[in-house]
Structure 1
Amino acid sequence: MPSRIRTAYDRRLADGRLTPDPSQVPVVEALSRLEKDLRKKAPLAGLFGQNEVRGVYLWGPPGRGKSILMDLFFACAPEPRKTRAHFHAFMARVHGLIRQWREGDAKTRKRVFGQSKGDDPIKPVADLIAAEARLLCFDELQVTDIADALILGRLFEALFAQNVVLAVTSNRAPDQLYLNGVNRELFTPFIDLIEARCEVMSVAGARDWRLDRLMGDRVWFAPADDANRAAFDALWSDLKGDQDECPAHLKVTGRDVVIERTDGGLARATFAELCATALGPQDYLAIAGRFHTLFIEDVPVLGPANHHEARRFVTLVDALYEAGTRLVALAEAPPEALYRKGVGAFEFERTVSRLNEMSGAEWLARERTA
């Protein structure tokens, strides 16, 4: 009898929602194995290694279908206590829980965690997460922050001790995570845990389906009428998949820069959110480095009264261009007509050239540098 994920995958191939890709076949088989193991191996809390279920770690370049396969697996997984989230959202919650433990009094700790004693927050946080879910499914595991690096090994040692199962996607192999990071030697136990408790699989097919979708459509939608807005929204939905959007918090020179609408490496924001607020070059570099595709909507026609916004837009486009981040825009006009008069209008012509280049197939297909 085929697994539920195998049946769901074959159904999507048959109805054309997915295109056959040989590189995905072994991934579906691994997820089928995990589905069956979850069904037949009941958890024995607190007994490390007893009825242990080995998870799955999928890694490879963006656009190879890792998130789609994880969506399918999560929908089909027989475990009722399961959680699906982007890794950065999970870690934001972990940091919030650690802060609650450290700042809370005994009564608050008891209410949130069911316990109140001790100075170390890692075990009570892990206990709470394990009580909520046996299966954790994450997208976009990446580690760039030393605070995350220092927490992960101890946290997942505590989670795995309670037979929590991990299914995760990443753009990097486990041994490439937090590469050249500060105090990386304190992070390597987490790598060892991942390799011991997960089946590590490369998803490296030649086909980048996100790129295919972008290159099959426009990426600059103008004017911002109902038809173009609908097409812009449809492209966002196609690339995003089934996961819920969530905010992303970027730490920039001690500040918290929040992008409210994100899905893994996809981000969506309005022109006002990015260019009419006090953001600067470091913020835009952080955004370009964090996301492989940025959707920006409601880009207005600018004039002398908007020269500050125009300057920020120039800086944003430069950051995206240098990082190789793809840009999809819903604007009132084509790039040539966005900013014809005002301080820096002559220099804006360079941005126009970059925007036109960034809409071309050759640029969309180039490898990211960030």
Structure 2
Amino acid sequence: MEPIPDYTSSVAEELKALAVSGALTPDAAQMQVAAKLDHVLTCLKETKPAKKSSALGWLFARGSGKPRKIRGLYVHGSVGRGKTMLMDMFFKKAPIARKRRAHFHEFMADVHSRIHEHRQKLKRGETRQADPVPPVAAALFAEAELLCFDEFSVTDITDAMILARLFTELFGLGCVLIATSNVAPDDLYREGLNRSLFLPFIGLLETHVDVVTLDSPTDYRMQKLANLPVYISPLDARADAAMTAAWNQVTDGVKGAPVEVPRKGRSIHVPLAAGRAARFSFSDICEKPLGAADYLALAERFDQIFVEHVPQLGPEKRNEAKRFINLVDTLYDNTVRLYVSAETSAEDILTERRGTEGFEFDRTVSRLFEMRSADYLARHQAERAEA
């Protein structure tokens, strides 16, 4: 293979270099999106650097003294077409210091946390600003003039009701937005409660971003996932390395972080999450008092779940075995992709298989085998594409 040349100047040049090296397959649809991302890069490069005395200094075009409005980009299309890869290339090249790349749901969790903290300050008499949205937006903009969101999706009514007000403030300050999504803006929060109150956000969004569809004929994610091991045993250094390699493939190397998944007034702790992938140890997910409803909340939030270090389960681990059965059943019913590292083969996880629990575990073993199949992976991908 030829060495990959320096491709720091544009997303399109990076794509071409990777294609020449054989690391990527040339894709015309991706190149079209790359050109639009490069246009945003050019606009960013033509602005003055921000001055410490003014959060808005960076918005003024060189030498013009006038505010420059930079339109962002909203890229939508089916899963596995390369949207996240392109956005990550763009983000690394964006020539500004204050920028943020996040999964959309993680960003909104941060927003709600800041709003809650502002209201606590109001109660303590530390602020007289009754409306938390303007100061929260100002703080977010002070940290990042460029926001890059992966998997822009609105499913929560609390998010839906606040987005228009929040982004009216952010766009007014000069925030530039780049987002990827599986759906077009008009389909955001489709069938959602009180959707009429959400519609102004769609109009606001389309005023500040260009909308482009990425319709590549090839599902690159499916090609990549099809070759990943999903059940690894026994537990050893090789198993740990294989799970980490699979995690890095699934997340495209994005640095993960702990998150909290809300459920009926409380939250489920996820030790490591990146986008719509979550990583647990067996003790995190099966030795804590979690039930089927908790596992359903995780299945609705994540497309791919890793469970590491599953031990062999004897009679003294009956509760843990029951939770493991519930977990596999729930993930299977919701076509979540499950990756497991275990002490033994699936058939030998439960040391005693008697009565109802024995029958239930036989079903679990069968499902674990089916979840490794190409048919299950195809169903997983198809349902995510329709989501």
Normalised to the residue count of structure 1, the TM-score between the two structures is 0.92
The answer for the alignment partner of 2:257 in structure 1 is 246
Shift, 1:140, TM fit: 1.7
Distance 1:122 1:322, change over 3 A: same
Query: How far apart, CA to CA, are the structure 2 residues paired with 1:108 and 1:213?
Result: 54
Q: How much has 1:108 moved relative to structure 2?
A: 8.7
CA distance in 1, matches of 2:346, 2:383: 23
Tell whether the 8 Å contact from 1:41 to 1:53 is kept in structure 2 after alignment: no
Matches within 5 A, 1:1-370: 3-42=9-48, 45=56, 50-104=67-121, 116-342=127-353, 344-366=357-379, 367-368=382-383
Q: Which runs of 5+ in 2 are unaligned?
A: 1-6, 61-65
Q: Match of 1:262, SS?
A: strand
Q: Judge conservation of contact 1:106–1:117 (CA < 8 Å) in 2.
A: no
Q: CA RMSD in A?
A: 2.4
Q: Which amino acid aligns with 1:148?
A: D
In the TM superposition, what whole-angstrom CA distance separates every residue of 1:316-365 from its partner, at most 9, and x where no partner exists? Answer: 11111111111111111221111140561232101111110110111111
> What is the letter of the counterpart of residue 299 of structure 1?
V
> Aligned-pair distance for 1:204?
3.0
**Deviation per residue, 1:243-288 (Å, 9 max, x gap):** 2202232222222112121111111111111111111111111111
> Could you say which structure has the greater relative contact order, defined with CA pairs below 8 angstroms and 6 or more residues apart?
1
Which amino acid in structure 2 is aligned with residue 95 of structure 1?
H
Q: 1:317 to 1:107 in 2, by over 3 A?
A: closer
Task: Determine if contact 1:3/1:36 at 8 Å carries over to the other structure.
Answer: no
Distance 1:182 1:189 in 2: 15
Deviates more, 1:334-343 or 1:212-221: 334-343
SS where residue 347 of structure 1 aligns? helix
Number of residue pairs matched by the alignment: 364
**How far is 1:207 from its partner?**
2.4
Letter in 1 for 2:226: M
Q: Percent identical across equivalent pairs?
A: 42
Bigger shift: 47-56 or 296-305? 47-56
Give TM-score, length-normalised by structure 2.
0.88
Task: Tell me the distance in 2 between the aligned counterparts of 1:191 and 1:105.
Answer: 31
1: CA distance, partners of 2:371 / 2:17: 36
Q: Which amino acid is the alignment partner of residue 269 of structure 1?
A: F
Q: Match of 2:383, SS? A: coil
Amino acid in the other structure paired with 1:26:
Q
CA contact (8 A) 2:233 2:239 kept: yes
How much has 1:26 moved relative to structure 2? 1.2
| 1:144-167 Cα deviation digits (max 9, x unpaired) | 221111111100001101111000
Tell me the distance in 2 between the aligned counterparts of 1:300 and 1:206: 42
SS in 2 for 1:362: helix
